[in-house]
Chains A and B, each alone.
Chain A
Amino acid sequence: MRQEWGRLVALLLSQFRRLDLVEDALGDAVEAASRTWPVDGTPDNPAGWLMTAAKRRVLDRLRTEGVAQRKLPMLLTDAERQQEGARTMADSGSLVEDDVLRLVLMCAHPALAPESAGALSLRLVLGVPTADIARLFLVPEPTMAARIARAKKRIVGAGIPFAVPDAAVLPERLDIVAQTTYLAFTAGYAPGSGPDLLRADLSGEAIRLARVVLGLRPDEPALVALLALMLLQHSRRDARVSDGRLVLLADQDRRRWHHDDVAEALRLLTGPVLAGPVTPLTASYALQARIAAEHATAPTADDTRWDRVVGLYDLLLHVSPSPSARLARAVAVAEDRGAAAGLAALEGLEIPSSHRPAAVRAELLARSGDTDAARAAYDQAIAACDNDVEREFLERQRASL
């Protein structure tokens, strides 16, 4: 059923254009199915059954709303544009006719806040329950429900269309789909508390989202590179937590990594799609994936080819310079050429309101035997850290000096 969710939402939207009704109607239909199918047996065409039931519910609602509210704003679709002959006459060959792609592009529209876009994509394209999306982004369920409702209202209010844009803008828009997907993925690996320390199962939903889009646009380089990157990070999910604590990469039990994910990612990275010229975003995903692949293919932590990792970070900084990439490069430099070289690479690096540069400096100072300076750097990192799990980790490191 979950595979069909996005397609059913898309079909209902193109028919009724009522973003406020469609999702509830489909939810009701699924709920009715869970009651009647076990008793009456699963219908021959489950998706068709759900579609009919959901349609009936939308029609019921429209009838009760009656004449008074006929002016409610409706979702704009490009079907209308076509009636108006607005843009499709030029070159219909450059347009991709697919309702699910329309849905994906609407949910990840650049006029929506990135976090709302991620939440909305998981909800509408994949049918992930709101409670789970709230857990993924570490917010209370009512907050997430309100955020999703606001995003849906904004789509209708701002005139964000349920449409596939011109071929000229499509790659740019698919880049935003990729960024939205990656944001949802990384949200699952932001440390939470207790049993929700990591929410790798929900990060897996972002991988599913990328696969849905790749099903529609198989040769989209940004999504191929992103899928490889996510698979490599996700392959370590079972080794990242032990006894309710985060385990650092070097200390992870590599037998618990998912080597099938690694193999798929390596196939994607060496495939033909990424062989040609790519956008900076794609290059950045592909380079991050190749860095992750160096770790994934090293038999032990000591076997890691840090020289190659440093080289890949140099390329990454060239393509897409960022303080966090500089920080990661400094860590790799320290592994390759020693703590002093790592400290030199950290020189002058600051990330506003982040504890990470101070935490790395503390670790490298500790390694080079400068305990006093290390302690001071840990204090700085602990003061700047607003995540309970990571702060406890830093406090343990400081205490062990």
Chain B
Amino acid sequence: MKYLVLLIGDGAEKPWSEQTEGEQGDAMAKFGEFDAACRAREGVELLAGEALSDSRDATVMRTTAGRVALTDGPYAEVIEGMGGFYLLEAPDLDVVVELLRILPPYDIQIHPTVDVTL
């Protein structure tokens, strides 16, 4: 099963910009640890993962009756704080949750992908 993991908010983690250099280093170490844990775990593969730029840099694209409309900013308030994502292959939800416990305590949305075969 493939999962899209969205890091949608700081949650219990102090916002990045308010963290000391030491705290930022600790958070980065957790990302490294997560990466290593995924690699060490059979049946798990990190297919993609990126940090995202400021949510104000995001663009929403909507198509109504053939006309494309672009708006600046993220789609909805709930993902205004989205800081990054992973695309992860894993056996099941329990394995995903277990691995994500390694990351800083962000609010996270875990969303399975579906196979769309054309």
Stretch at the interface among A21-29, A82-90, A238-246, A305-313: A82-90
* Contact residues in B for A87 (Cβ distance below 8 Å): 41-42, 95
The reply to whether A161 and B94 contact each other, CB–CB distance below 8 Å, is yes
Query: Which of A86, A161, A165 contacts B42, CB < 8 Å?
Result: A86
**Interface presence of B92 (CB below 8 A):** yes
Query: Which of B42, B43, B95, B112 contacts A158, CB < 8 Å?
Result: B112
**Interface presence of B50 (CB below 8 A):** no
Chain A's interface size range is: 10 to 19
* Contact residues in A for B42 (Cβ distance below 8 Å): 84-87
**Interface presence of A71 (CB below 8 A):** yes
Query: Which of A76, A157, A158 contacts B91, CB < 8 Å?
Result: A76
The reply to whether B93 and A159 contact each other, CB–CB distance below 8 Å, is yes
Complex Cα gap A108–B38 (Å): 26
Task: Please give the distance in Å from B16's CB to the nearest CB on chain A.
Answer: 28
**Interface presence of A61 (CB below 8 A):** no
* Contact residues in B for A159 (Cβ distance below 8 Å): 1, 3, 90, 92-93, 96, 112
* Contact residues in B for A166 (Cβ distance below 8 Å): 98
* Those of B87-118 within 8 Å (CB) of chain A: 90-96, 98, 110, 112, 115, 117
The reply to whether A84 and B115 contact each other, CB–CB distance below 8 Å, is no
A58-86 to B contact mask, C-beta < 8 Å, 1/0:
00000000000001000010001100111
Task: Please give the distance in Å from B3's CB to the nearest CB on chain A.
Answer: 7
* Contact residues in A for B44 (Cβ distance below 8 Å): 86
Query: Which of B94, B96, B110, B115 contacts A163, CB < 8 Å?
Result: B94
A11-52 to B contact mask, C-beta < 8 Å, 1/0:
000000000000000000000000000000000000000000
Task: Please give the distance in Å from A77's CB to the nearest CB on chain B.
Answer: 9
* Contact residues in B for A161 (Cβ distance below 8 Å): 91-94
Q: Among B41, B44, B92, B115, which residue has the most Cβ atoms of chain A within 10 A?
A: B92
Query: Which of A80, A86, A109, A163 contacts B41, CB < 8 Å?
Result: A86
* Contact residues in A for B96 (Cβ distance below 8 Å): 159
**Interface presence of A160 (CB below 8 A):** yes
* Contact residues in A for B93 (Cβ distance below 8 Å): 109, 111, 158-161
Complex Cα gap A80–B1 (Å): 12
Complex Cα gap A360–B93 (Å): 45
* Those of A76-119 within 8 Å (CB) of chain B: 76, 80-81, 84-87, 109, 111
Closest residue of chain A to B90, judged by CB? A159
Closest residue of chain B to A158, judged by CB? B93
Complex Cα gap A81–B43 (Å): 7
Say yes or no: A169-B98 contact (C-beta < 8 A), given A85-B42, A159-B1.
Answer: yes
Say yes or no: A165-B94 contact (C-beta < 8 A), given A71-B115, A76-B1, A84-B43.
Answer: yes
* Those of B19-71 within 8 Å (CB) of chain A: 41-44
The reply to whether B43 and A163 contact each other, CB–CB distance below 8 Å, is no
* Contact residues in B for A165 (Cβ distance below 8 Å): 94, 98
The reply to whether B91 and A80 contact each other, CB–CB distance below 8 Å, is yes
Complex Cα gap A76–B42 (Å): 16
Complex Cα gap A81–B93 (Å): 12
Complex Cα gap A80–B95 (Å): 13
Say yes or no: A163-B92 contact (C-beta < 8 A), given A81-B43, A86-B41, A157-B112.
Answer: yes
The reply to whether A160 and B92 contact each other, CB–CB distance below 8 Å, is yes
Closest residue of chain B to A165, judged by CB? B94
A-B contact pairs, 13 of them (CB 8 A): A71-B117, A76-B1, A84-B42, A85-B43, A109-B93, A111-B93, A158-B110, A159-B92, A161-B92, A163-B92, A163-B94, A165-B94, A165-B98
Q: Closest 9 CB pairs between A and B? A: A161-B92, A86-B43, A84-B43, A76-B92, A159-B93, A159-B92, A159-B1, A81-B91, A85-B42
